[in-house]
Amino acid sequence: MVRIRRLAAALAAALAVATVGSAGAAARAQTLQRLTVHSFTLAGDTGQPRVDVPFHLVVTLHVRERVTAIDNLELPILAELELLGDERALASGSNGTLYRETIAVVAHHSGDIVIGPARLQAIDARDRRPKQYSSNGLTLHVAGAAAPVLAIGGDFAAGAMRFTFQLALVVFGTLCAVAIVVLLFRRRAGGASPPPPIAAVVPDPVPRLAVARSPRDQLRDALTVLRAEPTRATAVRIRGVVWRMVGASDGETLADVLQRPEAAGAPMRELLRALERGAFTHDADLAPAIDGACDALERYIAA
């Protein structure tokens, strides 16, 4: 149990670094990239994930410019999902730059999950005005627990052999079908320029955590995240998570949030104020402000 907890904490920290990395760089840069955004999408590899079965969310951004990094990209808040891993790939070519971020997640409850859009802040190269781009949002319908893969019968060995054989047939058939489709597509495309190369994205296999994510668990993760990446971008991101936790929406101010009944407790009020300081204080005060936010998180978790 202790090992699992340690693993989970390490995983959360690693994931947090990956998740907030791009935004953190943006905060440090304090400048916006000049980009021409062709497309900006958020997709899932399944529309109906199952409880406790990992799946992937993919943020894809195509810009005209050739860049080596995408700054100021803010991933959607995944408060109702457990984050398992994150992988980023960036490919530049004659068609511009294709950025793809794959987030491995798992749901622990069935029902509908609404995921907000990813956001990108950049200067539009066409009219030189700062803009905030938003991808589409997603609504996932999480089904109940996964069906058992193997039906254990009387003769286990025979059943296992039969299953392995059937699985091999299915895999072989799928590979053949994919190869035929790829060949046909290439012939039809003729002399058209190939799409920009995209590095294959294979999220690291990560062990699943069997526990449900309570708000306190999320804040525990947030504390690990903030300690691993003590930047303004992380503070802003965690501020957003905590605000949603107390039912606040985008566009409210701290005064509005403090009037909510969910923010009535002293530890929560202290946490909200500490995160506000971390989000808006000057650079020289940022480290103490983040230390204060970590302390406030600790006190809230312990309360």
- Two tokens at 57? 């969310």
Alpha-carbon 52 to chain mean position:
17
> Considering beta carbons, is residue 48 or 132 the nearer one to other proteins?
132
**C-alpha distances in angstroms, 224 versus 15, 16, 75, 87, 273?**
10, 8, 18, 19, 19
Phi and psi based region of residue 153 (left: phi greater than 0; alpha: psi -120 to 50; beta: remaining): beta
d(C-alpha 48, C-alpha 137), whole Å = 15
Q: How near is the Cβ of 254 to other proteins at its closest, in Å?
A: 5
User: By CB under 8 A, is residue 28 in contact with other proteins?
Assistant: no
* Residue 220 touching other proteins (CB under 8 A): no
**Stretch of 69-77, 204-212, 277-285, 293-301 lying at the interface with other proteins (CB under 8 A):** 277-285
Q: How far is the CB of 260 from other proteins (least distance, A)?
A: 15
Select from 74, 82, 87, 276 the one that contacts other proteins (CB under 8 A).
Answer: 276
Return the residue of 151, 200, 255, 302 that touches other proteins, per CB under 8 A: 255
DSSP 118: P
What is the DSSP annotation of 178-233?
HHHHHHHHHHHHTTSPPPPP-----PPP-PPP-S---HHHHHHHHHHHHHHS-SHH
Site membership for other proteins, residue 281 (CB under 8 A): yes
Residue number with CB closer to other proteins (83 or 241): 241
Q: Which of 148, 190, 191, 251 binds other proteins (CB under 8 A)?
A: 251
For the bound state, the minimum distance from the C-beta of residue 118 to other proteins, rounded and expressed in Å, comes to: 17
Q: 37 or 272: whose CB is closer to other proteins?
A: 272
Give the Å distances, CA to CA, from 79 to 74, 111, 211, 253. Answer: 14, 14, 15, 21
Closest CA to 218 of 196, 239, 241, 191: 241
Candidates 88-96, 246-254, 264-272, 293-301; binding stretch for other proteins (CB under 8 A): 246-254
Question: Under the criterion CB under 8 A, does residue 252 sit at the interface with other proteins?
Answer: yes
Q: Length of the chain in residues, anyone?
A: 303
Check binding of 248 to other proteins (CB under 8 A): no
Instruction: Give the range of 33-41, 99-107, 194-202, 280-288 binding other proteins by CB under 8 A.
Output: 280-288
Pairing of β 73-74 and β 119-124: antiparallel
The yes or no reply on residue 221 touching other proteins (CB under 8 A) is: no
Sequence-ordered list of residues with C-beta below 8 angstroms from that of 106, at least 6 positions apart, any chain? 52, 53, 54, 55, 81, 82, 84, 208, 209
| Residue 18 binding other proteins, by CB under 8 A | no
CA distance 134 to 119: 5
- Count of residues in contact with other proteins, rule CB under 8 A: 15
Closest approach, Cβ 241 to other proteins, in A, equals 16
Under the binding rule (CB under 8 A), the answer on residue 279 touching other proteins is: yes
Interface residues for other proteins in 81-140 (CB under 8 A)?
130
Q: Under the criterion CB under 8 A, does residue 214 sit at the interface with other proteins?
A: no
Residue closer to other proteins (CB basis): 49 or 278: 278
Residue 107 per-residue DSSP state:
B
Give the C-alpha separation, 208 to 4, whole Å: 10
Contacting residues toward other proteins, per CB under 8 A: 30, 130, 250-255, 276-277, 279-282, 285
